[in-house]
Amino acid sequence: MITVIGSLNMDLAVKMDVFPKQGETVLGEQFQTIPGGKGANQAVAAARLGSQVNMIGCVGTDSFGDTLRNVLQQEHVHTDTITTASVPTGIANILLYNDDNRIIVVPGANYELSPVHIEAAKEVIQQSQMVIMQLEIPKETTEYALKLCKEANVPVLFNPAPAANFDMRWMEEITYMTPNESECLLLFGDDFEEVLKRYPNKLIITLGSDGARFFDGEYPIHIPGYMTKVVDTTGAGDTFNGALAHALVEGQSLDEAVYFANIAASLSIEKFGAQGGMPTLGAVYARMSGCEE
Ligand SMILES: Nc1ncnc2c1ncn2[C@@H]1O[C@H](COP(=O)(O)OP(=O)(O)OP(=O)(O)O)[C@@H](O)[C@H]1O
Ligand SMILES: [K+]
């Protein structure tokens, strides 16, 4: 079983032709509500591949909270350890204008997830084969969860996004760390060769269409991405992380697991939305074996 400790958001996307000036009202073209949050996305990614997944998070008492919980249940993610707080559910307000986007995130209930909730879910964590975390919940909660995982000897896959919330002291407690290039730059500087060597078989840098790289203790390893037609890259990183956890828990080596995660992420970018394009296990194997329909 995989446990994800992280955020659940409702994305509110407005597409517009005219961007309003201060004090102005304009008509938008399109409005969509899309379930998201890095935590929920990574949980869905792993569950769609067939992993048993447990989500630890917090939503509000509003209808967005109910919807997010239901969506996860439909994806067969266990939601018993999702708590409810009397503040609004986290949202991301996405303004799409001229092929560009402006995003406002209001963490809401995600910032109410506290060490008390992690302690209450202790048994679930102890029974997990891997715990996945990101940085969209309070720092003290992340710290407490890392401590529990260490005590219980549960491996942690840490996706340091948004990177500014990362604390370097956590490196020791993390088993696998998956920054993208800009997160890696922010956290470790621009000498990727050096930093990969410093964290062999632990630091995996994702490189967009280029795939991912790590250092295996002896050699630098680069696993190229799978070239495909991009429709929407939203959720590529989340799919990569959920798939990597799934493959590692299944007992794959790190090389194999990164290859598997690249394939899964390549399928996700062929469809719109973060969760919308996340593949099933069958779809990943079909692509690996060259037997796609
Ligand atoms: N254009 C692409 N073609 C093929 N694979 C891609 C492409 N973009 C992303 N991927 C896959 O997704 C993984 C994660 O992408 P990236 O390194 O851009 O992380 P990210 O910035 O967290 O992604 P995002 O924020 O778009 O979800 C890559 O390692 C790769 O496997
Ligand atoms: K997508």
Task: Please state the rounded mean pLDDT for residues 51-57.
Answer: 98
Q: Are 10 and 90 in contact (CB under 8 A)?
A: yes
Q: How far is the CA of 271 from the centre of ligand 2 (A)?
A: 5
Instruction: Could you please state the CATH topology (level 3) that the domain comprising 2-8+38-89+108-288 is classified under.
Output: UDP-N-acetylmuramoyl-L-alanine:D-glutamate ligase (3.40.1190)
Our answer to whether residue 190 is catalytic in this structure is no
Our answer on whether the CB atom of 5 is closer than 6 Å to any ligand 1 atom is no
Q: Are 125 and 132 in contact (CB under 8 A)?
A: no
Task: Please state the rounded mean pLDDT for residues 166-193.
Answer: 97
> How far, in Å, are 29, 135, 158, 181, 234 from residue 284 at the CA level?
35, 28, 23, 25, 18
pTM (2 d.p.): 0.97
Give the tokens for residue 19. 């961007």
* 119-146 pLDDT, tens digit each: 999 999 999 999 999 999 999 999 999 9
Does the pLDDT of residue 169 top 90, yes or no? Answer: yes
Give the tokens for residue 10. 């409702």
Atom of ligand 1 nearest to the CA of 159: 22
Our answer on whether the CB atom of 159 is closer than 6 Å to any ligand 1 atom is no
Q: Are 176 and 129 in contact (CB under 8 A)?
A: no
The β-bridge relationship of strands 77-78 and 53-60 is parallel
Atom of ligand 1 nearest to the CA of 161: 22
Does the pLDDT of residue 99 top 80, yes or no? Answer: no
Q: How far is the CA of 269 from the centre of ligand 1 (A)?
A: 8
Our answer on whether the CB atom of 226 is closer than 6 Å to any ligand 1 atom is yes
Our answer on whether the CB atom of 240 is closer than 6 Å to any ligand 1 atom is yes
Nearest residue by C-alpha to atom 9 in ligand 1: 208
Q: How far is the CA of 5 from the centre of ligand 1 (A)?
A: 22
Give the integer Cα–Cα distance in Å for 204 and 215: 8
Pocket probe for ligand 1: among 44, 157, 178, 180, the residue whose CB has the most ligand atoms within 8 Å is: 180
Residue 75 burial by Cβ neighbours in a 10 Å radius (0-12, 13-18, 19+)? buried
Which of 62, 66, 99, 238 is an active site residue? 238
Atom of ligand 1 nearest to the CA of 207: 17
Q: Are 198 and 189 in contact (CB under 8 A)?
A: no
CA angle 20, 26, 91 (to 5 degrees): 70
Nearest residue by C-alpha to atom 4 in ligand 1: 209
What are the extents of the domains in the chain?
A: 2-8+38-89+108-288
* 243-262 pLDDT, tens digit each: 999 999 999 999 999 999 99
